[in-house]
Structure 1
Amino acid sequence: MHMYKHALLLVQNEIDGVLLLHHAERLAKEMGTQITLGHISSDYRELDYTSDALTRDRQSHEVIEAKAMLSRLAESSSIHVQVKSIISIQRFKDVEAVIQHEDIDLVMLGHKNRLFGVFSSFSFEFINHLSVDVLIKHISTP
């Protein structure tokens, strides 16, 4: 099995975050993999035409909520994890920049099996756009 040195867990919410973090904790304990928790928030400022006060307030609120979620996940972890908030409208380009800057060799994401999930999955798109291995963990839906 390939030994991963640094994994980036891209979580969408606390449900997939807990599952991915549990899996990453095993990686860290068995292989010594360094773990970084990450979340992508949309950067509405990059759209240029939506720079009103309400949009900025909404974006600020989303970023604050995402950082709070990442902090809760990091505190619940049995291992030391780093936290990275990515604010972007060009997620592949900016995630790739984080990969290069942080020397990441594995990206982990969650995927829920829903109708047309193969066509609309947030996670599957990363496979063809990143230069490192991508592990997609199935998140069961009740």
Structure 2
Amino acid sequence: MSNIHFRRRRKSGRISLVPMIDVLCCLLIFFMLSTQFVRWGALDIQVASHIASVSRQDKKLEPIKLYLSIDRVRLHQAELTLSDLVRQLKDHTNTRAGLNQLDIRLFVSKKTQLQFTVDVVEKLQQLGIKKIKFEKNNV
């Protein structure tokens, strides 16, 4: 019959790297497109220089302790409303330091409403007081 002889192909022992590189590139592109792009920003932090060091008078300032109850603020054993507290703090700064140098510690009772606490903190910030800290009430 016919004299056609088919040769058997030899199996090469080599693995072709080209298809593997193509697959890896496709995976890389897929994961790069499917991830969320995060934009990292920088925070503007103002650091005090060595010239703006704390003076001796500032070191002597003791924190002002405010005890918040239901709708009143207690300062030096006196019950005050929020407007009275503002007047008292303004008078207090005439003899000591500026309002921005005051150190306020807030002791909030469990019965105090959150809105009243926020109102007090907002008033203190409007006065220019920067150091406002919440303390645990041991009473």
- TM-score bracket, normalised by the shorter chain, equals 0.3 to 0.5
TM-score by length of 2: 0.35
| Higher relative strand content | 1
| Higher relative helix content | 1
